[in-house]
Amino acid sequence: MRTGFKEQLEKITAFVETHYPEHLKGYGIGDPFVTTEFPDFDRFRNDFVLFLEFDSINFNPSPYADDCGAIAKILCDIFLVFRNDTVKNLDAKLMDASTALYELLRNEKLHREKLAIADNLTVRTVDFFKYVEGNKNLVASKFTLEFEAAY
Protein backbone atom coordinates (compact mmCIF):
# COMPACT_ATOMS: atom_id res chain seq x y z
CA MET A 1 0.00 0.00 0.00
CA ARG A 2 1.31 3.45 -0.93
CA THR A 3 0.14 5.15 2.29
CA GLY A 4 -2.88 5.37 4.54
CA PHE A 5 -5.94 7.35 3.53
CA LYS A 6 -5.36 10.05 6.14
CA GLU A 7 -1.76 10.53 5.02
CA GLN A 8 -2.82 10.66 1.37
CA LEU A 9 -5.33 13.43 2.09
CA GLU A 10 -2.73 15.28 4.18
CA LYS A 11 -0.28 15.12 1.24
CA ILE A 12 -2.85 16.65 -1.11
CA THR A 13 -3.61 19.42 1.39
CA ALA A 14 0.09 20.13 2.00
CA PHE A 15 0.81 20.27 -1.75
CA VAL A 16 -1.89 22.91 -2.27
CA GLU A 17 -0.91 24.90 0.85
CA THR A 18 2.77 24.89 -0.16
CA HIS A 19 2.54 25.73 -3.85
CA TYR A 20 -0.70 27.65 -4.40
CA PRO A 21 0.47 30.91 -2.74
CA GLU A 22 3.42 31.04 -5.17
CA HIS A 23 1.04 30.92 -8.13
CA LEU A 24 -1.23 33.59 -6.62
CA LYS A 25 1.61 36.12 -6.34
CA GLY A 26 1.62 36.63 -10.10
CA TYR A 27 -1.99 37.80 -9.85
CA GLY A 28 -1.50 40.09 -6.85
CA ILE A 29 -3.73 37.96 -4.63
CA GLY A 30 -2.81 37.25 -1.01
CA ASP A 31 -2.65 33.80 0.56
CA PRO A 32 -5.95 32.10 1.27
CA PHE A 33 -7.07 30.74 4.59
CA VAL A 34 -6.97 26.96 3.95
CA THR A 35 -9.23 24.48 5.70
CA THR A 36 -10.48 20.93 5.29
CA GLU A 37 -13.58 21.71 7.29
CA PHE A 38 -17.07 21.88 5.78
CA PRO A 39 -17.57 24.96 3.55
CA ASP A 40 -19.50 27.03 6.10
CA PHE A 41 -19.71 30.58 4.76
CA ASP A 42 -21.13 31.96 7.99
CA ARG A 43 -18.31 30.59 10.10
CA PHE A 44 -15.37 31.40 7.80
CA ARG A 45 -15.58 35.11 7.03
CA ASN A 46 -12.05 35.65 5.71
CA ASP A 47 -11.68 37.61 2.46
CA PHE A 48 -10.30 34.51 0.70
CA VAL A 49 -10.86 30.94 1.85
CA LEU A 50 -9.84 27.69 0.18
CA PHE A 51 -11.88 24.68 1.29
CA LEU A 52 -10.64 21.15 0.52
CA GLU A 53 -13.39 18.58 0.68
CA PHE A 54 -12.61 14.91 0.12
CA ASP A 55 -15.64 13.20 -1.39
CA SER A 56 -14.74 9.55 -1.76
CA ILE A 57 -12.11 6.96 -2.50
CA ASN A 58 -13.14 4.41 -5.11
CA PHE A 59 -11.24 1.23 -5.95
CA ASN A 60 -10.88 -0.63 -9.22
CA PRO A 61 -9.02 -3.95 -9.11
CA SER A 62 -5.91 -3.95 -11.25
CA PRO A 63 -5.77 -6.81 -13.75
CA TYR A 64 -1.98 -6.42 -13.85
CA ALA A 65 -1.26 -6.83 -10.13
CA ASP A 66 -0.44 -10.23 -8.65
CA ASP A 67 -1.22 -9.10 -5.12
CA CYS A 68 -4.84 -8.09 -5.80
CA GLY A 69 -3.71 -4.48 -5.88
CA ALA A 70 -6.17 -1.81 -6.83
CA ILE A 71 -6.23 1.63 -8.35
CA ALA A 72 -7.79 4.12 -5.98
CA LYS A 73 -9.52 7.19 -7.32
CA ILE A 74 -9.66 9.93 -4.73
CA LEU A 75 -12.29 12.54 -5.53
CA CYS A 76 -11.64 15.96 -4.06
CA ASP A 77 -13.42 19.29 -4.35
CA ILE A 78 -11.56 22.54 -3.86
CA PHE A 79 -13.69 25.60 -3.27
CA LEU A 80 -12.23 29.08 -3.69
CA VAL A 81 -14.39 31.65 -1.90
CA PHE A 82 -14.04 35.44 -2.00
CA ARG A 83 -15.97 38.08 -0.08
CA ASN A 84 -15.72 41.61 1.36
CA ASP A 85 -15.13 43.57 -1.85
CA THR A 86 -17.03 45.05 -4.76
CA VAL A 87 -18.77 42.70 -7.18
CA LYS A 88 -16.37 43.68 -9.97
CA ASN A 89 -13.27 43.05 -7.84
CA LEU A 90 -14.65 39.78 -6.47
CA ASP A 91 -15.29 38.48 -9.99
CA ALA A 92 -11.79 39.46 -11.12
CA LYS A 93 -10.14 37.88 -8.05
CA LEU A 94 -12.15 34.69 -8.47
CA MET A 95 -11.16 34.31 -12.13
CA ASP A 96 -7.50 35.03 -11.39
CA ALA A 97 -7.36 32.71 -8.37
CA SER A 98 -9.09 29.95 -10.35
CA THR A 99 -6.61 30.39 -13.20
CA ALA A 100 -3.71 30.23 -10.72
CA LEU A 101 -5.05 27.00 -9.20
CA TYR A 102 -5.53 25.44 -12.62
CA GLU A 103 -1.98 26.45 -13.59
CA LEU A 104 -0.66 24.87 -10.38
CA LEU A 105 -2.47 21.60 -11.03
CA ARG A 106 -1.24 21.46 -14.64
CA ASN A 107 2.32 22.65 -13.86
CA GLU A 108 4.86 20.26 -15.35
CA LYS A 109 7.70 21.62 -13.18
CA LEU A 110 5.93 20.16 -10.14
CA HIS A 111 5.34 16.81 -11.81
CA ARG A 112 7.62 14.87 -9.44
CA GLU A 113 5.89 16.30 -6.37
CA LYS A 114 2.49 15.46 -7.84
CA LEU A 115 3.66 11.89 -8.44
CA ALA A 116 4.45 11.64 -4.73
CA ILE A 117 0.73 12.25 -4.16
CA ALA A 118 -0.83 10.34 -7.03
CA ASP A 119 0.03 8.60 -10.27
CA ASN A 120 -2.43 10.73 -12.20
CA LEU A 121 -4.30 13.97 -11.54
CA THR A 122 -7.32 15.03 -13.55
CA VAL A 123 -9.22 18.28 -13.26
CA ARG A 124 -12.73 17.01 -13.97
CA THR A 125 -14.69 20.27 -13.79
CA VAL A 126 -14.49 23.88 -12.70
CA ASP A 127 -17.80 25.48 -11.71
CA PHE A 128 -18.35 29.15 -10.91
CA PHE A 129 -20.94 30.55 -8.52
CA LYS A 130 -21.98 34.18 -8.22
CA TYR A 131 -24.17 35.44 -5.42
CA VAL A 132 -23.50 32.47 -3.14
CA GLU A 133 -26.41 32.09 -0.70
CA GLY A 134 -28.04 35.08 -2.39
CA ASN A 135 -25.20 37.40 -1.38
CA LYS A 136 -23.82 39.53 -4.21
CA ASN A 137 -20.59 40.01 -2.24
CA LEU A 138 -19.83 36.29 -1.99
CA VAL A 139 -18.47 34.39 -5.02
CA ALA A 140 -16.95 30.94 -5.36
CA SER A 141 -15.50 28.41 -7.74
CA LYS A 142 -15.43 24.66 -7.29
CA PHE A 143 -12.72 22.43 -8.77
CA THR A 144 -13.54 18.73 -8.88
CA LEU A 145 -10.30 16.75 -8.97
CA GLU A 146 -9.58 13.08 -9.41
CA PHE A 147 -6.33 11.64 -8.05
CA GLU A 148 -5.40 8.09 -9.09
CA ALA A 149 -3.01 6.08 -6.96
CA ALA A 150 -2.04 2.41 -6.89
CA TYR A 151 -2.82 0.58 -3.65
**Cα-based torsion angle of the residue sequence 41, 123, 27, 85 in order, rounded to the nearest 10 degrees:** -20
Domain tally for the chain? 1
Strands 48-61 and 33-35, bridge-based pairing: parallel
- Looking up residue 79, the CATH number of its domain turns out to be 3.30.70.1700
Average pLDDT over residues 108-122: 73
pTM for this predicted structure = 0.85
Give the count of beta carbons closer than 10 Å to the beta carbon of residue 54. Answer: 17
Question: Tens digits of per-residue pLDDT, 60-75?
Answer: 766 665 555 566 788 8
DSSP 8-state assignment for residue 132: G
Range of the domain at 47: 5-150
Question: Tens digits of per-residue pLDDT, 17-39?
Answer: 989 998 899 999 999 999 988 88
**Spatial distance between the Cα atoms of 83 and 136, rounded to a whole number of angstroms:** 9
